[in-house]
Amino acid sequence: MGIKKIAVNSSIHLQNAANCLFYIIIALLIATIPIYAQKTGDQHNVAAVLTTAESFFKSLKGKEYTKIWVLLSQKSQETIINEVFKEIIKKKSSQTSIEEYSREQILADFKVGGPLSREYWNSFLEYFNPNLVLDQSKWDIGTVKKDKAEISIQYKKSEKPAILQMLNEQGAWKVGLVETFWTRK
């Protein structure tokens, strides 16, 4: 009778240990689901960030004015509109043949790739060659957060990389051109 009791007790302990192990495995699986979801979400964000940045520089290269505009951050758009507006006012004081534009008209022009937009981006491209970023630079993804990301762009002849600021605005990644390259006043 003693041997049977030991065998039954051992069987119960093994079954309890198996149940316990089963619950531990289930708990571990449940705990790793959010980590997996976060990693795939991060991978999706990384891909979206890089795609947006690449599209921006390709749009500059192809002089796709409306696409350039759509890919810019809100702050970049506002800064460019204000700079163009101030330049028009400045030129208007010295040249009477300059047409007057409101900020709203300038914004509308940039949205459709109008003459102000073309003039602005063509002037920009006189000083900036997007091929240097697209073909002659190494890109490394930096920090990626929910609403902000950084891309390190190392031109082969530069000592330091440019850190391109990317912003998630209303669910879409945008290039922080002003946030990255304009000097603070």
SS (H, E, C) the chain: CHHHHHHHHHHHHHHHHHHHHHHHHHHHHHHHHHHHHHHHHHHHHHHHHHHHHHHHHHHHHCCCHHHHHHCECHHHHHHHHHHHHHHHHHHHHHCCCCCCCCHHHHHHHHHHCCHHHHHHHHHHHHHCCHHHHHHCEEEEEEEECCCEEEEEEEECCCCCCEEEEEEEECCEEEEEHHHHHCCCC
Residue 85: inside a domain: yes
| Closest to 57 in 3D by CA, of 118, 111, 136 | 136
Give the residue numbers spanning the domain of 48. Answer: 43-181
Structure-token pair, residue 164: 């391109």
Residue 15: inside a domain: no
Residue 168: inside a domain: yes
Q: How confident is the model at residue 9 (pLDDT cuts 50, 70, 90)?
A: low
Residue 121: inside a domain: yes
- The structural domain count of the chain equals 1
Residue 97: inside a domain: yes
pLDDT tens, position by position, 96-150: 666 788 999 999 999 999 999 999 999 999 999 999 999 999 999 999 999 999 9
Q: How confident is the model at residue 18 (pLDDT cuts 50, 70, 90)?
A: very low
pTM for the whole structure = 0.74
Task: For residues 141 and 48, give the distance between their C-alpha atoms in angstroms, rounded to a whole number.
Answer: 11
- Tokens 């060659």 belong to 129
Residue 8: inside a domain: no
| Residue 10 confidence (pLDDT) above 90 | no
Residue 127: inside a domain: yes
Residue 26: inside a domain: no
Torsion of CA 56, 61, 67, 73, to 10 degrees: 40
- Tokens 């921006």 belong to 56
